Amino acid sequence: MKNSTLRMVCLSLAIAAAPAASVAQGQQDFSKVEIKATKIAGNLYTLEGQGGTIGVLTGPDGVFMVDTQFAPLSEKIAAAIKQISDGRIRFVVNTHLHGDHTGGNENFAKMGAIILSRDQLRMRLAKPGPTASGAPGVPAPPAALPTLTYNAPITVHMNGEAVQIIPVPLAHTDGDTMVKFPTADVLMTGDFYRSVGYPNIDRNNGGSMKGMIDGLTAVFNAAGPSTKIIPGHGPVVDRNAVTAHRDLIIAIRDKVAPMVQKGMTVEQVTSAKPLADFEGKVQGAGTTGDRFVGQVYAELKAGG
Ligand SMILES: [Zn+2]
């Protein structure tokens, strides 16, 4: 049972392109990817290409950036940033360690940016665990490693913003961060909140369902009624969508928990279709439902 659960989690990791997966990145064709910039508010933009949504705060003090997508896209991303700013990228904060959010770190560091992250994220980039196939993880190059790390909230003052960098413990991973731009009234969450698909708890990298529920509550508390919430993946939403997502996790947990108590296997739980009541409520669900059930099962089985 445990093995199949692990396999399911690992499969999800392979899709998320773990940071060490430079080989997998090399196999992916990024040549057709175009970077689309969208003005969200004032001097704050998002960039979409392939991978996690990037945030860009522009202004006279230079650029503050959230996440870096994949390394082969860095030149295109830098060119897109030049279109909306003077191109001086001063700071990059990583919302979590997955390769579709940190893959460009090395390139942006070499362009002069200072990379910031949680302590845990830096540690996992430097010493990754085994890959999905069980092969030893490949450490990120030294230049990709964040220079400034934190484990409590910090604030970066630039371009008329007091950007709040807020740790979110043990959620999608154990190194998650949300980033709040109070003047623009925008909050970026990374992947512990996503507006497409079911939630994704990367338990191999320290994620947990409980931490995710707590993190989503923290998003609601940090947001006002008009705050634009930018997820790691998917369209911009408001805080009510985040609450609905949290309640979905709780409802699924409460459905799966008695099945775990009865001693059902993960296959039996999946076959019992615990998500039947939620079908149609999750955009772009694809195969993420079964993945999430496997993660919930594993956490409950482990006593979470
Ligand atoms: Zn992720």
221 CA distance to ligand 1 middle (Å): 22
For residue 15, which of 163, 270, 198, 170 has the smallest C-alpha distance? 198
Whether 14 has a pLDDT exceeding 60, the answer reads: no
263 CA distance to ligand 1 middle (Å): 30
Which pLDDT does position 274 carry in this prediction?
A: 94
240 CA distance to ligand 1 middle (Å): 22
Whether 148 has a pLDDT exceeding 50, the answer reads: yes
Residues with CB under 5 Å of ion ligand 1 are 16, 98, 191
60 CA distance to ligand 1 middle (Å): 31
- Residue 10's SS3 state is helix
Which pLDDT does position 154 carry in this prediction?
A: 98
Q: Is the pTM of this model over 0.85?
A: yes
Q: What tokens appear for 298 in the block? A: 């594993």
81 CA distance to ligand 1 middle (Å): 23
51 CA distance to ligand 1 middle (Å): 9
178 CA distance to ligand 1 middle (Å): 13
What's the mean pLDDT in 197-201? Answer: 95
Three-state SS for 129-183 is CCCCCCCCCCCCCHHHCCCEEECCCEEEEECCEEEEEEEECCCCCCCEEEEEECC
Task: Name the DSSP letter for residue 85.
Answer: S
Which pLDDT does position 304 carry in this prediction?
A: 67
Q: What is the pLDDT of residues 253-293, one digit of tens each?
A: 999 999 999 999 999 999 999 999 998 889 899 889 999 99
Q: Considering only 94-103, 243-252, 281-290, which range has the smallest mean pLDDT?
A: 281-290
Neighbour count for residue 25 (Cβ, 10 Å): 19
What are φ and ψ of residue 92, in 5° steps? -130, 125
List domains and CATH numbers for the chain: 2-24+35-301 (3.60.15.10)
For residue 146, which of 168, 185, 119 has the smallest C-alpha distance? 119
